[in-house]
């Protein structure tokens, strides 16, 4: 069973309107790499031009921020859930 | 990780409830978790609501109903009819009135025993500390990144908790920042996204009930902070997906290197948050793309003259159903793979709702080799204002 990647609402237009997708992967970075391979338009929203994860995009493995694990090298196992959590600001208007 | 809610120290001014208040709050008083002690804490509490819109509506109503002794309302906007779909403090009779005034009228009629102070002003670095200093808890119900960072930093500098909620379409995020030893907004998001990469609420839309749910959770967390009961959302980010009807929670950690709440803070006073977020001026970031434009009136006269213009509508199909200019519909996101539907030899006018997405489309097509292409300035909104008022605005 592969890893599930949860795609947040603001990024769904760039991911074929999907709310999640599953990929085989050994690390968080690999799961995200496979995601952007399938949905090319997502790449610029998640990664800088030199391939680094953008600073305003937070990635969680299950309920833990990967910045406090092994970042993109964090190993994943079958059934893990990788969540992309971008900042959203709406509320007043 | 659940954090026991730490009571926010409200300086006790009132030491008893009147007979009428005892009756009004009896459903609180008979619960041991609130009781007389908790209700007095509520009466002594001073809560500042930043924004009286979607999130501010349930916040104001529930906090006023709960007997929070003083509510401050900060907003500079006026009520318009598109607000009524979700901002339930306002009625149709309030359209055109300042939001702070309309909200104060509604909340006072709900509970005349509480004090309501209105600040009809835009929250800025120059006034935030002064506005916040007399309140115990700040509740962030704003709608843009510069104000979110400003609220966060001002709360940290003053040592006040910030009950945070934000929404987008049918998704919400709630947590409590700025608690002692808890993380802050910058621990979660050190930097804002650059303008343009995240759609604004006006572009994205929002399901009307969503701010009701998210704002109600903020109200609950605010009350828990005041009465010091339960496990607060400090250190947890609650994510809510209304379509899937799922709640999830993620761990939030305090970043020891955080520039504002870390062990060696480098940010010790408020900064220019528009600059920090890459936005100058008003909150709706003007598109920084400069492309050739045509005004609605020029386009109308050219069409009347019989010029062969190809109208390209880059909005979404559901927007086309609301109103359209008989254009050829290719949503912006599909343009790269449907570019073959366009004829480079023809003169094209691209439009969207406000002119922002179509500017991106024109920019893209010019880079793809199209030369005779113009952006309809102000989009369908301007067309309705300047050419054909029968076209509905949305």
B379: left (phi over 0), alpha (psi -120 to 50) or beta: left
Contact B168 A19 (CB under 8 A): no
pLDDT at A75 (0 to 100) = 96
Contacts of A87 in chain B (CB under 8 A): 145, 166, 188-189, 192-193, 198
pLDDT digits (tens, 9 = 90+) for B68-126: 999 999 999 999 999 999 999 999 999 999 999 999 999 999 999 999 999 999 999 99
**Average pLDDT estimate for B157-185:** 95
Site of tokens 């930093």: B153
Four-point Cα dihedral B135, B140, B144, B146, nearest 10 = 40
Please state, in angstroms and rounded to a whole number, the distance separating the CA atoms of residues B362 and B314. Answer: 10
Q: Which runs of E-coded beta strand occur in B98-254? A: 115-119, 137-140, 162-168, 171-177, 231-232, 236-241, 246-251
Mean pLDDT of chain B: 92
What is the token pair recorded at B289?
């793309």
Distances (CA, A) of B359 to B286, B349, B355, B363: 11, 10, 6, 6
**B75, B164, B171, best to mutate vs chain A, most A CBs in 10 Å:** B171
How many other C-beta atoms are found inside a 10 Å radius of the C-beta of residue B297? 13
Provide the 3-class DSSP secondary structure of residue A72.
Answer: helix
pLDDT at B11 (0 to 100) = 74
Contacts of A45 in chain B (CB under 8 A): 197
Between B333 and A74, the higher pLDDT residue? A74
Contacts of B249 in chain A (CB under 8 A): 63
User: Measured between CB atoms, which of A14, A85, A89 is closest to B145?
Assistant: A89
Is pLDDT at B293 greater than 80 in this prediction?
Answer: yes
pLDDT at A1 (0 to 100) = 59
pLDDT digits (tens, 9 = 90+) for B338-351: 999 998 889 999 99
Site of tokens 């749910």: B213
pLDDT digits (tens, 9 = 90+) for B313-335: 999 999 999 999 999 999 998 89
**Average pLDDT estimate for B201-221:** 87
What is the token pair recorded at B147?
């104000």
A3-86 carries CATH number 3.10.20.30: yes
Please check whether residue B353 is in contact with residue B368, taking contact to mean a CB–CB distance below 8 angstroms.
Answer: no
Please state, in angstroms and rounded to a whole number, the distance separating the CA atoms of residues B359 and A33. Answer: 30
Confidence of residue B201 (pLDDT cuts 50, 70, 90): very low
Contact B193 A65 (CB under 8 A): no
pLDDT at B199 (0 to 100) = 55
Provide the 3-class DSSP secondary structure of residue B182.
Answer: coil
Contacts of B148 in chain A (CB under 8 A): 89
β-pair type (B115-119, B70-74):
parallel
Confidence of residue B284 (pLDDT cuts 50, 70, 90): very low
Is pLDDT at B155 greater than 70 in this prediction?
Answer: yes
Please state, in angstroms and rounded to a whole number, the distance separating the CA atoms of residues B6 and A46. Answer: 37
Contacts of B145 in chain A (CB under 8 A): 87, 89
Question: Is B277 one of the annotated active-site residues of the chain?
Answer: no
Cα end-to-end span (Å), chain A:
43
Site of tokens 């906090």: B63
How many other C-beta atoms are found inside a 10 Å radius of the C-beta of residue B100? 24
Distance of CA B298 to the CA centre of its chain: 36
Please pick, among B184, B258, B261, B352, the residue that the annotation labels catalytic. B352
Give domain limits for chain A.
3-86
pLDDT digits (tens, 9 = 90+) for A12-25: 888 988 999 999 99
Q: pTM surpassing 0.90?
A: no
Site of tokens 């006034």: B127
Q: Tell me which of 3.40.220.10, 3.40.50.720, 3.20.20.80, 3.30.750.80 is the CATH number of domain B3-276.
A: 3.40.50.720
User: Measured between CB atoms, which of A45, A65, A86 is closest to B253?
Assistant: A65
User: Measured between CB atoms, which of A10, A19, A63 is closest to B168?
Assistant: A10
Is pLDDT at A66 greater than 60 in this prediction?
Answer: yes
Distance from CA of B333 to the nearest CA of A (A): 8
Residue of A nearest to B169 (CA): A9
Contact A91 B141 (CB under 8 A): yes
**Average pLDDT estimate for A39-56:** 87
Partners of B313 in the beta sheet?
B329, B351
Please state, in angstroms and rounded to a whole number, the distance separating the CA atoms of residues B22 and B149. Answer: 40
pLDDT at B123 (0 to 100) = 96
Distance from CA of B192 to the nearest CA of A (A): 6
Please state, in angstroms and rounded to a whole number, the distance separating the CA atoms of residues B65 and B88. Answer: 14
Phi then psi for A14, rounded to 5 degrees? -95, 5
Confidence of residue B285 (pLDDT cuts 50, 70, 90): very low
User: Measured between CB atoms, which of B141, B197, B333 is closest to A92?
Assistant: B141
**Average pLDDT estimate for A25-39:** 94
pLDDT at B286 (0 to 100) = 46
* CATH number of this structure's domain B293-386: 3.40.250.10
Between B284 and B353, the higher pLDDT residue? B353
Please check whether residue B354 is in contact with residue B381, taking contact to mean a CB–CB distance below 8 angstroms.
Answer: yes
Distance from CA of A92 to the nearest CA of B (A): 4
Question: Is B323 one of the annotated active-site residues of the chain?
Answer: no
Least confident interval from B170-184, B200-214, B293-307: B200-214
pLDDT digits (tens, 9 = 90+) for B28-64: 999 999 999 999 999 999 999 999 999 999 999 999 9
Please pick, among B155, B184, B201, B323, the residue that the annotation labels catalytic. B201
Q: Which runs of E-coded beta strand occur in A1-93? A: 3-6, 20-23, 57-61, 64-65, 81-86
Contact A10 B251 (CB under 8 A): no
**Average pLDDT estimate for B242-266:** 94
Confidence of residue B167 (pLDDT cuts 50, 70, 90): very high
Give domain limits for chain B.
3-276, 293-386
pLDDT at A55 (0 to 100) = 80
User: Measured between CB atoms, which of B83, B148, B169 is closest to A89?
Assistant: B148
**Average pLDDT estimate for B170-190:** 94
């Amino acid at each position: 069973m592969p890893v599930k990647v949860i795609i947040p609402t603001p990024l769904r237009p760039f991911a074929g309107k999907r709310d999640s997708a599953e990929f085989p992967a050994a690390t968080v970075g690999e799961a995200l790499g496979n995601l952007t391979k399938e949905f090319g338009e997502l790449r610029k929203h998640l990664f800088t031009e030199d391939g680094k994860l953008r600073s305003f995009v937070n990635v969680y493995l299950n309920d833990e921020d990967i910045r406090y694990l092994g970042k993109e090298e964090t190993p994943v196992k079958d059934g893990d859930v990788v969540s992309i959590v971008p900042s959203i600001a709406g509320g007043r208007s | 990780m659940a954090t026991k809610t730490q009571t926010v120290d409200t300086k006790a001014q009132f030491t008893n409830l009147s007979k009428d208040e005892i009756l009004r709050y009896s459903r609180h008083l008979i619960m041991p978790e609130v009781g007389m002690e908790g209700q007095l804490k509520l009466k002594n509490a001073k809560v500042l609501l930043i924004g009286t819109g979607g999130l501010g509506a349930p916040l104001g109503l529930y906090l006023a109903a709960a007997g929070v002794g003083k509510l401050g309302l900060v907003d500079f906007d006026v009520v318009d009819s598109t607000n009524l779909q979700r901002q339930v403090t306002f009625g149709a009779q309030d359209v055109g009135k300042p939001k702070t005034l309309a909200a104060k009228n509604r909340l006072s009629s709900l509970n005349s025993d509480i004090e309501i102070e209105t600040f009809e002003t835009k929250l800025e670095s120059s006034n935030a500390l002064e506005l916040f200093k007399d309140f115990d808890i700040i509740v962030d119900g704003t709608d843009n990144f510069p104000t979110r960072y400003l609220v966060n930093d001002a709360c940290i500098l003053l040592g006040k908790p910030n009950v945070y909620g934000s929404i987008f379409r049918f998704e919400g995020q709630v947590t409590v920042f700025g608690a002692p030893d808890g993380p802050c907004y910058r621990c979660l998001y050190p930097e804002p996204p650059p303008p343009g990469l995240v759609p604004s609420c006006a572009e994205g839309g929002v399901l009307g009930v969503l701010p009701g749910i998210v704002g109600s959770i903020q109200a609950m967390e605010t009350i828990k902070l005041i009465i010091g009961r339960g496990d607060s959302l400090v250190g947890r980010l609650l994510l809510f997906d209304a379509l899937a009807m799922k709640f999830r929670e993620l761990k939030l950690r305090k970043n020891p290197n955080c520039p504002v709440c870390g062990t060696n803070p480098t940010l010790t006073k408020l900064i220019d948050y528009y600059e920090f977020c890459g936005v100058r001026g008003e909150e709706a970031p003007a598109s920084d793309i400069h492309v050739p434009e045509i005004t609605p009136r020029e386009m109308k006269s050219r069409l009347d003259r019989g010029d062969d213009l190809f109208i390209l509508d880059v909005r979404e199909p559901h927007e086309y159903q609301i109103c359209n200019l008989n254009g050829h519909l290719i949503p912006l996101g599909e343009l790269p793979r449907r570019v073959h539907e366009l004829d480079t030899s023809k003169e094209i006018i691209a439009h969207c709702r406000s002119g922002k997405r179509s500017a991106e489309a024109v920019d893209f097509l010019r880079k793809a080799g199209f030369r005779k292409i113009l952006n309809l300035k102000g989009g369908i909104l301007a067309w309705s204002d300047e050419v054909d008022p029968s076209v509905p605005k949305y």
